[in-house]
Amino acid sequence: MEKFQTLRSGVVPLPIENVDTDQIIPARFLKSTTREGFGQNLFADWRYQPDGQPKADFVLNNPRYQGQILLAGKNFGCGSSREHAAWALYDAGFKVVISSYFADIFRGNALNTGLLPLQVSDEVLQGLFRQIELEPETQLVVDLPSQTLSIPVWDAAIGFELDAYKKECLINGYDDIDYLVSQRDAITTYEQLRKWVF
C-alpha cells in the first residue's frame, strides 16, 4: 500500500446520494483475477454510452473538473462488498473520497486500498458542492497527520476523524496482515482454549 501524508488537489463533484458499488464498478467488470486495471471501468454505465463513447454530461468526462478528490453524496459505497470499487477509484487516480457518510464495508475496503474516506458533516458537504459548482478550480488540502481538511478559498480548516491505528497504517503504507500474522501465538492460544465449541 502506498503512503498517504498530504494532498493538495482539485475536486470532482458527484452530488448523488447512495452511490452503490455496482455503479462504481458494475459486476460484469469483476472477472479479472488481479487488482489492476479497474479504473477504466470506474462508473462505467454513467460514464460511457453502450457503444463505449463517453457521455458528455457525466462529471468524469467534464474537463472543468480535475483532481484526486471525489466529492460524493451521503451513504457512498453502499451495496456489494466488492473491494474492486475502491481499487477502481484508486486506479483512476483518486486518493480521497469526501462524503457525509460511507457504507461500512466500503470504508474498510478504501482504507485497505490506501484511499482515504473522509467524512464531513452534511452542512460542510453541501457547502463544498456549492463551492465547486461556483468555482470548479477550487483546491482542497487534506493533511492526514493533523487530520484536517483545509479549504484555502474559505480560509477554513476542518478536523476529521479517523481511527488512530488506521491513520498510522495510511501514513506508513502498512496494512493489517503484518500485524495479524505477528499475533500468531495469541491466536493459537485462543484456539486451544475454545476447542470444545466446534
| Phi/psi at 10 (5° precision) | -75, 175
Q: Distance between CA atoms of 53 and 49, rounded to whole angstroms?
A: 5
Q: Distance between CA atoms of 49 and 118, rounded to whole angstroms?
A: 31
Residue 59 CB, shortest distance to another protein, in Å, is: 13
133 in contact with another protein (CB under 8 A): no
Residue window 59-78: x/- pattern of binding to another protein, with contact defined by CB under 8 A: --------------xxx--x
Which of 118, 41, 149, 121 is CA-nearest to residue 85?
Answer: 41
Mode of pairing for the β-strands spanning 148-151 and 156-159: antiparallel
Residue 193 CB, shortest distance to another protein, in Å, is: 10
Q: Which of 2, 6, 35, 154 binds another protein (CB under 8 A)?
A: 35
Q: Distance between CA atoms of 58 and 177, rounded to whole angstroms?
A: 38
Q: Distance between CA atoms of 74 and 15, rounded to whole angstroms?
A: 9
34 in contact with another protein (CB under 8 A): yes
143 in contact with another protein (CB under 8 A): no
Q: Which of 54, 121, 173, 179 binds another protein (CB under 8 A)?
A: 179
Site residues for another protein per CB under 8 A: 15-18, 20, 22-23, 26-28, 30-35, 45, 50, 73-75, 78-84, 86, 101, 103-105, 108-109, 112-113, 122, 126, 163-165, 175-177, 179-181, 183-184, 186-187, 190-191, 194, 196-198
